[in-house]
Every structure is written in C-alpha cells, then in structure tokens.
Amino acid sequence: MKAKTRVDKDADETIRSINSKTGRNMPQAVGTAVVLVVLIVACLLISPVLFMLLVVIFMILGLWELRVDFAVRNIHIPLVTLWICSTVTLVSVYFSTHHVVAMGLCVMVTLLAAVVMGSRRIRTSDRTDRVSSDKRVDDGAAVERHSRLTQAAVSAFTVLYIPLLASCIVMPLTFNGHPVAHAVMIVFMPALGDTGGLFAGAWLGRHKLCPSISPKKSVEGLCGSILFAVAGVYAVFACTYDAATWATRWWFPLVAGVMIGVVGTFGDLCASLIKRNLGIKDMGHMLKGHGGVLDRVDSILLTAPFLCVALWLAGL
C-alpha cells in the first residue's frame, strides 16, 4: 500500500512538472486533442462537405472568442455581420466553380461590411460607456475609449485573420482531387508541429526563441516542430501519391515541413502578441487543456495560405 502511494506521488509530481514546463494541463490537453482528431477524421471520411461545415463552425466560435477578447479593451466588432458574411465566404469558396474569384469577392464584401459596421458601433458603445463610466468612476476604474478608426481597423483585422485564412483551409479541398490528403496536411501537420515543439521545448529547451512575447518558446522547440512536421508530411505523401509523383516531387514534404514548422511557430507568437496586448492568458476556455478555439488553430490559420499555394504550385 505504501509502495503504491509512493508511485502515485511520483506520477503526480511528474505530471505537475510536465504541466509546468508546457504551460498546459497535459492530461486534459491530450483528451481534448483525441476528441478533436476523431471528429475531424470522421468528417473527412464521410464527406469533404462535412469537413467544410466543421471549419465554418470553428470559424464562428473563433469570431465569438475574438468578440469577447476585444470587449475586454472596450473594442466592439460587428459579430453578426461577420458571422453571416464569413459563412457565405467559406461556402462560396467551396461550391463556386471559380474558387479564387469567389474568395476574393466575398472577402472584399466582408471587409467592407465589417469596416462600415465596426465604425458605426462606436455610437452605441459611446452611450454604453457613459453609463458604465458613471458606475466605474466610483470604483476608481476608467473606461477605455477608442476612435471610429480603431474600431474599423480591428474589424478589418478580424476579417483578414479569420475568414480570409479559413478560406485557405477550404480552398485545397477543391483542386487536384486529393481533398482528404490536403485537409490532413493543412489541419494536422501544424498541430503535429506544435506537439513536436511542445515536447522538444519541454525536455531540451535551453535557448529562448522570443522571450519578450512567449517565454516558453525555444529554439529547440522550433527544431522539434520542423522535424515532426517534415516526418508527418512525408507520411501523408507516402499514403497518397504514386511512385511517379515521388520521383518528381520528393522534395515537397521537406520544404512543406520546414515551412509548417517555421510559419506555425510564427503563428503561435502572433497569437501570443495579441493576447499580451489585450492582457489575457487564453483566447477562450472552450477546449479543456488548450484554452479557446483560436488557441488551438492559430498555427493552422497562418500556415494555411502558405501550404495552399505550395500544393497548387507543386501540382499536388
């Protein structure tokens, strides 16, 4: 009985040490990751349309998280307008016969609508601020005010950060006849790179990558991300393409893996910079062990356009 108790204590201490190094509750993170993987794979095996709709759902949740996060600094984005226009954008990109044209037109309309509605929100928020400021003055806290230009700029940023980049996740489903392989590369390879960076950084991390933005990121973690991503793309490549494609495109997994590792890490740093400027730890709390939806997909969003263009240029 004592030996069992000692083993349990050692296991608890090990888990606490891992959680401290990674900055996450790893048992919760692993459980959530397994559920997400099963859900995404099931959608891909049933139909790429279901996967596209799943991307739409995650995009809607991500927009909601950004709305809540920006509201912390008294910045208000036109959520309903963004929901409607962004959903139309992703559906149009998938079903239109001219996918790139549809994406460009829909993103432009979404951008215009978001800027116009975002700049108008200042009128409503001004009235709200007058009431809330009367309440907060007694507490000694001032209400942060922003100009119409700031509200419009943040709304424009939201369009470029979520629906535009999410469109690049949907786009590879539409060309060259390999929707499942393309979806796996775009969704799972950045996640695999994150996993490699997490473990390499936790056990080998000695040299800080960008401590002013993310203290836990390390050069060793970046190398781990690249190695895991390269291995993952080679595995997908081996299961998808024939020998003739291997003979002429053998270099693609190496290039794509390096790109995913580097750009994915940059995406994590960009998200960390946003959170640092907003004064929050996580974008949300929907995914146990990961934070919010945007905490999970930040690297995926940023790598999507690069990988989309790379797949198209390589004829894959």
Write the pLDDT tens digit of every residue in 151-204. 888 999 999 999 999 999 999 999 888 999 999 999 999 989 888 888 887 787
**pLDDT score for 142:** 55
Q: What angle do CA 113, 119, 124 make, to 5 degrees?
A: 115
Shared domain check, 164 and 236: no
273 falls within a domain = yes
Shared domain check, 246 and 170: no
Shared domain check, 148 and 83: yes
Shared domain check, 142 and 104: yes
305 falls within a domain = yes
Shared domain check, 200 and 132: no
Where is the domain boundary, 174, 203, 237? 174
Shared domain check, 141 and 168: yes
36 falls within a domain = no
Where is the domain boundary, 174, 205, 221? 174
Rg (CA), the chain: 22
241 falls within a domain = yes
Where is the domain boundary, 110, 142, 174? 174
**pLDDT score for 236:** 93
Listed as ranges, residues in the chain with pLDDT below 50 are 1-3, 7-11, 15, 19, 124-141
**pLDDT score for 105:** 94
Alpha-helix runs per DSSP H in the chain: 2-22, 26-46, 48-71, 79-95, 99-139, 148-161, 163-170, 179-204, 219-240, 243-249, 252-278, 293-313
Shared domain check, 213 and 124: no
Shared domain check, 185 and 161: no
Shared domain check, 251 and 237: yes
**pLDDT score for 127:** 45
Shared domain check, 188 and 78: no
Element (H, E) at 214: strand 214-218
Token pair of 133 as six digits: 């400021």
Shared domain check, 155 and 215: no
Q: What is the pTM of this model?
A: 0.83
Please tell me the total count of domains within the chain. 2
**Structural domain of 151:** 47-174
148 falls within a domain = yes
7 falls within a domain = no
Q: Which amino acid, 3?
A: A
**pLDDT score for 129:** 44
19 falls within a domain = no
Shared domain check, 242 and 199: yes
**pLDDT score for 56:** 95
